[in-house]
Amino acid sequence: MKAIIITIGDELLIGQTIDTNSAWIGAELSKLGFDVCRAVSVHDRREDILSVLGEVSGKADVVLITGGLGPTGDDITKPTLCEFFNTKLVVNKEILKTIETMLSRRNMPMNENNHKQAEVPELCRVLSNDKGTAPGMWFEKDRAIYVSMPGVPYEMQHIMTKYVLPELKRCFISQTIIHKNIMTYGTFEAKLAEILTDFENGLPENIKLAYLPSFGTIKLRLTGTGNDGNRLQKTIQDKVDELYKIIPQFIYGEDEDTLEISIGNLFKFKQQTVCSAESCTGGKIASLITSIPGCSDYFKGSVIAYSNSAKSNILGVPEELISKYGAVSQEVVSEMAKNARKIFETDYCIATSGIAGPGGGSEAKPVGLVWLAVSSHNGIVAEKLIFGTDRQSNIERFSAAALNLLRKQILGKK
């Protein structure tokens, strides 16, 4: 079963809006067993929309379209769909009533543009939109299904979840597709692939392995296909168990686990606490930790000591230590971790000091250099790493490395 995704909107093509719809739709279709063979974005122009519809015609069982259904003049998807499906626009009384009720509840007057939103192609099956004013529209042509939905992500997701996905599941006898992610950190993609050569060569034909790297984290995705869901699930789990035996030192979680989720679970289990003392990461570590619900159980606070004076005045790092070794040094970052842990009275503290770039580096201390330290009741562990020259990438990598060092210390790993 093949599926194609079409997203409509000039804003997608000029970078003003990121196309998250295709990613979400693709993931959901994959769960049903569809092969998403193409995803394309096009202008809000009649000729472009007709062109891409003509291109995909006959090449997929399902075509899902988002965008171009708003109340303004530049939203031309509906009349263009009428042209493609050889039909005309008619007013749908139920949609019109829904729009009137919604606007009345907000004390907003009904205008001509709102009235136009109640117009739909006569041949379509209307999918009501409880989250907005633009409905979804279901068409069938040449044994293929076409569904047009609003571009607003939460409106599209609502229509997909309530109507489209259940109907597609009913219409198509699907093979089972199972994705299983194993999250790793601490090695390079090429090295990991080398370690897993025999494992990958030994996989059954119906199971594939993909490497998905991002800022030091490598997601190993096992994808299995088959007609027997229970048997496939067991085979996938057997392969996951093998990975835990081959690379236990790199695995920190499964599915969509992040490092911050992993350490949060560890702190909750151990009923311990943590704080951070950040320089080069500028609060990124604290932001990651506090993005997890329930983090107030274990995260007590952070000091962003960016300047040398802040390191001395707030964290109590001796000025002579900074003068002798420099702010980016094992001695200074260790002192930051030790003193912040005392201030917040936590079980652990993670500290960072580095050179994010693009300037500020030297031959002895290049851009991308970072010192990390974890202070705990077991003492202080420090680590020196060197990354690249891009500032934002470095901040992401520094933070991920710091969280991984913290994770290893919680687990008692070297």
Residue 333 · residue 380 · CB < 8 Å: no
For the chain, what are the domain ranges?
Answer: 2-171, 176-254, 259-411
Strands 348-354 and 176-185: unpaired
- 125 phi and psi, to 5 degrees? -95, 125
pLDDT at 346: 98
pLDDT in tens, 393-413: 999 999 999 999 999 999 998
Residue 114 pLDDT: 75
Residue 241's pLDDT is what? 98
Report the CATH superfamily, name and number, of domain 2-171: MoaB/Mog-like domain (3.40.980.10)
Q: Which regions in the chain score pLDDT beneath 70?
A: 70-75, 173-174, 414
Annotation: CATH topology of 176-254: Alpha-Beta Plaits (3.30.70)
In angstroms, the Cα distances linking 18 to 10, 14, 222, 286, 399 are 11, 10, 27, 26, 24
CATH level 3 topology of 259-411: Maf protein (3.90.950)
Q: What is the pLDDT of residues 319-373, one digit of tens each?
A: 999 999 999 999 999 999 999 999 999 999 999 999 999 999 999 999 999 999 9
Q: Where are the alpha helices (DSSP H) in 150-228?
A: 153-159, 165-171, 189-195, 197-201
What's the pLDDT score for residue 173? 65
Q: What is the pTM of this model?
A: 0.76
Question: Can you spell out the DSSP letters for 329-355?
Answer: SHHHHHHHHHHHHHHHT-SEEEEEEE-
Tokens at 72, concatenated? 């303004």
- Please give the pLDDT value at position 323: 97
State the pLDDT at residue 341: 98
Looking at residue 61, its amino acid is: D
